[in-house]
Amino acid sequence: MAWLRSFWAGLPIEGRWLLAVVAVQTLGRGLTLPFTVIYLREVRGFELSVAGALMSLVAVAGFVITAPSGWLVDRYGARSVLLGGQSAMMIGSALLAFATDPWTAALALTLIGLNFGAALPAFNTLIAAVVDGDVRQRFFGIHFALMNVGIGAGGVVGGLFVDVDVPATFTTVYLAEAGAALVPIAVLLGPLRAVREHAGRAMGPRPATSGYRAILRQPAARWLAALTFTGVLVGYGQFQVGIPSYAREVAGASTDAIGIAYAVNTTMIVALQLPVLSRISGRRRVMIVMAGAWAGAWLLLGAAGLGPGTLVATAGLLAFMAVFAFGETLLQPTVPAITNDLATDDARGRYNAVNAAAFNGGAIAAPAVAGLLLGLDVAAAYVGLMVAGCLAVCAMALALERRIPPSANGVSPSNRLERGSFS
């Protein structure tokens, strides 16, 4: 694609290194991501309730560290925070490889969660330091596609390699994940060691208005945080509990079908992200299209529950994942770009931290909501709530649009009236 070649040719060398880091890092993460609960339960022999509580530590630790991470990014630079996070990730993965008791596993998963909480505001800030404008939106989209490629490929390799009857196979993949964390550390200490200066940090004392309270007094920041929280609640947050539980217990889908459905989601993201990026450049109201696509996807999943155990149910599940993937390709290049277009250089880390906290909050709330409604056997109410949440995202996107400048909404003066867009 001509625009992709143009994007790559015009990308600073630091941007290319960042994309390489994403590819390696997510490949290592994919080796273990689908199998940690299985490892804790079937290899280390922890009770299911203990394993579930341990898994929650990742999200809780990430949420707790998000606000301090934003402050640290603005005080010491994104690169320093990323180095700390990757070090925690490396130590946590290595510990988990040998975690024969719950306390060691708890420490390991907490360290991994600290990295996740620090990585989102720090990495997004680092991207903003390297690229801007339309290139930034495209970068976030390609970054998301690479994440899915890496996690998907890592999951396939890990699935073929690990064996619950051979604990050493799990030890190997967790050590491999720890080793993968060394790559970002090496790049941050080497080719990216001067990136901090690219962010324009030599600006003298920061104004007192750049704290979290001042950011959250801005209507645009509040609407964007609310939109992110709701989007995760009805979107990504449902992938670990809500969607597989509905597919299995309500739609009666086989485990094979569920596995294929998740593969369909990843494949569609990889296939669609680049074409979508070429269409949304300079267009507005992309998030409204995303929310509409997700609402339609949830209706497809609801239809799958009307014929449990049938081919129709499986088809509905696969269609849900495909349509949902299309919405994901619209969301990922948009929200991080808007966040960084609104942010000032002296508070960019905290702007990204607010968005990361909203994301992590949605990720914590989503399993609880799904577990409550599906546990009460009110599947229709569950699907209805998800659809209503998608419609709420549409309303929030419209409210946000009225409170941000056109440039932050991806609209340049030359194409505000362009036809054939998603608006």
Flag whether 390 is in a domain. Answer: yes
Res. 213: pLDDT tops 90: no
145 and 90 within one domain: yes
255 and 174 within one domain: no
The model's pTM is: 0.76
What digits encode the pLDDT tens for the residues 9-52? 777 888 888 888 888 888 888 888 767 877 888 889 888 678 87
367 and 237 within one domain: yes
Flag whether 297 is in a domain. Answer: yes
- Interval 228-255 mean pLDDT: 85
The residue behind tokens 């619209």 is: 330
> What DSSP designation does 41 have?
I
DSSP 58-112: HHHHHHHHHHHHHHHHHHH-HHHHHHHHHHHHHHHHHHHHT--SHHHHHHHHHHH
133 and 275 within one domain: no
- Interval 218-238 mean pLDDT: 91
398 and 269 within one domain: yes
Res. 198: pLDDT tops 80: no
Rounded to the nearest 10 degrees, the angle between the axes of helix 167-189 and helix 133-161 is: 160
Mean pLDDT across the chain, nearest whole number? 83
Query: What is the separation, in whole angstroms, between the first and last Cα of the chain?
Result: 24
What digits encode the pLDDT tens for the residues 99-154? 999 999 999 999 999 998 888 888 888 887 887 766 776 787 787 778 878 877 88
Flag whether 304 is in a domain. Answer: yes
pLDDT of res. 139: 81
Residue at a domain's end among 194, 223, 242: 194
Which of residues 388 and 274 earns the better pLDDT score? 388
Distance of CA 280 to the CA centre of its chain: 20
- Interval 148-169 mean pLDDT: 83
pLDDT of res. 348: 84
Burial class (CB in 10 A: 0-12, 13-18, 19+), 101: exposed
Q: How far apart are CA 269 and CA 207, in angstroms?
A: 41
147 and 26 within one domain: yes
Q: Worst-scoring range by mean pLDDT, 68-77, 199-208, 227-236, 259-268?
A: 199-208
281 and 176 within one domain: no
Flag whether 188 is in a domain. Answer: yes
366 and 219 within one domain: yes
**176 band by pLDDT with thresholds 50, 70 and 90:** very high
Flag whether 207 is in a domain. Answer: no
Q: Which domain holds residue 179?
A: 13-194
- Interval 69-96 mean pLDDT: 91
109 and 167 within one domain: yes
337 and 251 within one domain: yes
The number of domains in the chain is 2
Flag whether 417 is in a domain. Answer: no
312 and 259 within one domain: yes
Residue at a domain's end among 194, 224, 255: 194
- Interval 351-372 mean pLDDT: 86
Residue at a domain's end among 130, 161, 194: 194
Which of residues 106 and 253 earns the better pLDDT score? 106
Identify the CATH number of the domain in which residue 48 sits: 1.20.1250.20
Q: How far apart are CA 135 and CA 113, in angstroms?
A: 30
Flag whether 295 is in a domain. Answer: yes
Flag whether 330 is in a domain. Answer: yes
pLDDT of res. 104: 96
- Interval 229-258 mean pLDDT: 84
Res. 238: pLDDT tops 60: yes
> What DSSP designation does 43 have?
I
What digits encode the pLDDT tens for the residues 288-313? 899 999 999 999 999 999 888 888 89
**407 band by pLDDT with thresholds 50, 70 and 90:** low
pLDDT of res. 284: 59
Q: H/E element holding 422?
A: none
Q: How far apart are CA 33 and CA 28, in angstroms?
A: 9
109 and 243 within one domain: no
